[in-house]
Amino acid sequence: MTGKILLTYATMSGSTAEVADAIARKIQESGAEVTVRPMTDVTDFSGYDAVILGGPMVVGWHRGAMKFVARHAAALSKVPVACFITSIELTNTGEDAIGGVPLTIDPNLGGPPKNPGKLSFKEKQTCLDAYVSPILKKASGVKPVSIGLFGGKLDYSVLNPLAWLFVRFIIRGKAGDYRNWDAINAWAASVGDQLLSGA
Ligand SMILES: Cc1cc2nc3c(=O)[nH]c(=O)nc-3n(C[C@H](O)[C@H](O)[C@H](O)COP(=O)(O)O)c2cc1C
């Protein structure tokens, strides 16, 4: 497989950067060139055949990632794009695609709603549609070939006091490293091919 991919990510505490590196390493095994950069360092996509965008859920997809896709929507609509999301919670409402975009879901992340016919307030905030649709809406005209949803990492010791309070008392997140490297690598192995099949 030949071609150049830009993998650009947003992060709050750094764990999504490690996911980005793992995805890049996996894709590179099949011969493609992958450049990994934080979104804050990226101004354009010239020289790349495809783009991967990644970021954590931080009450919605990372604010920097949302701004990035809105700012670059026109350019991103002209190249093959894939996205990934890291989070510690997910209400898996069972969709395998949203807005025509196929989803790959880490089997260890979250679980089904208690009562599929009537989601609780928290389940509505953490369901697939609540995570994915706002991104597709922001990235107007961009149709990712795939969106991967993976467990992230929650480490209270690296959070600023405000984030600590929010996660501890509002999200009530349990500290831990929930990254499922098998699921991440499996997605990476297939998404590289999907992105570069026309390159
Ligand atoms: C302030 C804050 C808000 C968060 N909000 C959510 C959320 O709404 N839903 C969720 O599943 N995870 C949430 N998380 C967990 C993060 O998505 C998870 O820890 C992620 O792996 C962090 O990635 P990072 O290390 O790249 O910042 C939140 C974490 C923080 C610090």
| H, E, C per residue of the chain | CCCEEEEEECCCCCHHHHHHHHHHHHHHCCCCEEEEEEHHHCCCCCCCCEEEEEEEECCCECHHHHHHHHHCHHHHCCCCEEEEEEECCCECCCCCEECCEEEEECCCCCECCCCCCCCCHHHHHCEHHHHHHHHHHHCCCCCCCCEEEEECEECHHHCCHHHHHHHHHHHCCCCEECCCHHHHHHHHHHHHHHHHCCC
Report CA(174)–ligand 1 centroid distance (Å).
Answer: 11
Give me the tens of pLDDT residue by residue for the chain, a chain 199 residues long.
Answer: 789 999 999 999 999 999 999 999 999 999 999 999 999 999 999 999 999 999 999 989 999 999 999 999 999 999 999 999 999 999 999 999 999 999 999 999 999 999 999 999 889 999 999 999 999 999 999 999 999 999 999 999 999 999 999 899 888 889 999 999 999 999 999 999 999 986 5
Q: What is the model's pLDDT at position 198?
A: 65
Q: What is the model's pLDDT at position 122?
A: 86
Q: Are 83 and 52 in contact (CB under 8 A)?
A: yes
| Tokens standing for residue 160 | 């600023």
Nearest residue to 86 (alpha-carbon basis) of 25, 139, 149, 176: 149
Q: What is the model's pLDDT at position 177?
A: 98
Q: Which atom of ligand 1 is nearest to the CA of 12?
A: 27
Question: Which residue is closest in CA terms to ligand 1's atom 20?
Answer: 152
Q: What is the model's pLDDT at position 169?
A: 87
Q: Which atom of ligand 1 is nearest to the CA of 89?
A: 11
* Domain coordinates in residue numbering, the chain: 4-196
Going from the C-alpha of 55 to that of each of 32, 83, 86, 110, 121, the distances in angstroms are 22, 8, 6, 18, 24
Pick the CATH number of 4-196 from 3.40.50.300, 3.30.1180.20, 3.90.930.12, 3.40.50.360: 3.40.50.360
Q: What is the model's pLDDT at position 199?
A: 55
| Tokens standing for residue 20 | 């980005």
Nearest residue to 194 (alpha-carbon basis) of 70, 85, 41, 83: 83
Report CA(84)–ligand 1 centroid distance (Å).
Answer: 14
Q: In what order do the strands lie in the sheet with 33-38?
A: 33-38, 4-9, 50-56, 81-87, 147-151, 101-105, 97-98
Q: Which atom of ligand 1 is nearest to the CA of 10?
A: 26
Question: Which residue is closest in CA terms to ligand 1's atom 8?
Answer: 59
Q: What is the model's pLDDT at position 1?
A: 78
